[in-house]
Structure formats: C-alpha cells, structure tokens
Amino acid sequence: MEKFTKYEVARILGARGLQIAMDAPLLIKMSKEDLEKVKYDPIEIARIELESDVLPITIKRPFPRKIERKLSREKEKAERIEEKKVEKKKEVVEEKKAEEAEKEGEKEIKEEGEIMEIVQPDDEVEETAGEAEEGIE
C-alpha cells in the first residue's frame, strides 16, 4: 500500500464505503464468514480492499505554490541568461564593426589628409599688429 495521509485514507474509505453501500460489486472475493466477521460494514470492507491494494485509485497531490513559482522562475532565469548571451554577442559584433570603421576612417585620413607635425619654435613667426589687421580683411 502506498503511503497515504490519514486524510486521503479517510476520503478513499468514505468514497469506497459509499459505493459498497449502494450495492457496487466487491473487488475482493470474501466468504460469508468473513463478511459476518466485519458485520457487513461497508467501511470495513473498503478498508480490507485498500489494504490488499486492489482499489484502482490514484491520488493527485498538488505541488505547493512556492515550488511552482520556483520552477517558473528557473525557466525565466534560463531565458534571461540566453537573452543576455545574445545581447553580449550583439555588443561584441557592434564593437568589432566600430573598430573596423575606426580603422577605415584612420586609413582615409592618412591617405587623403595632411600630415600634421609638431611645430618647432624656430618655425613660428611673430606677427605684428599691422599684419594681424591685414589678415582680417
């Protein structure tokens, strides 16, 4: 016999006892002497049937709500982890594209632009006030 709680046993015996009281066929062959011993009590007959494991009965025990939530959270966590992995891959791809674009831009600047050098103090020419005004016009 499976381990049933006392509440499950009471429910099973009550339901089967009611069936027997309503003239349901017995699942165990019992002699008249055995029936007289239990005084034709439907609950006792149901108890004998339950102890002999002949009742085709199943018990559905619901999971506690905490476990159900935990299971769903694990699924959500797995989905979040996968989403984070996809996002990281996208970021890596975007970084690579940005680096390539930067390198291409540097190549273009080197090929097309002027090369700027550091100015030496000897190269600087001091402008006078008159030359500065002529440059403005």
Query: What is the model's pLDDT at position 71?
Result: 47
Query: What is the model's pLDDT at position 11?
Result: 94
Task: Return d(Cα 11, Cα 101) in angstroms, integer.
Answer: 75
pLDDT bracket for residue 31 (50, 70, 90): very high
Question: How do residues 85-137 score in pLDDT, each as one tens digit?
Answer: 888 899 989 999 989 988 888 887 777 766 666 777 777 776 665 555 555 55
Query: What is the model's pLDDT at position 132?
Result: 53
Question: How do residues 39-83 score in pLDDT, each as one tens digit?
Answer: 999 999 999 999 998 998 888 888 776 655 444 455 666 778 888
Task: Return d(Cα 86, Cα 111) in angstroms, integer.
Answer: 38
Query: What is the model's pLDDT at position 15?
Result: 95
User: Domain limits of the chain?
Assistant: 6-51, 64-112
Query: What is the model's pLDDT at position 62?
Result: 80
Residue 27: is its pLDDT beyond 80? yes
Query: What is the model's pLDDT at position 58?
Result: 83
Query: What is the model's pLDDT at position 116?
Result: 65
Query: What is the model's pLDDT at position 81?
Result: 84
pLDDT bracket for residue 84 (50, 70, 90): confident
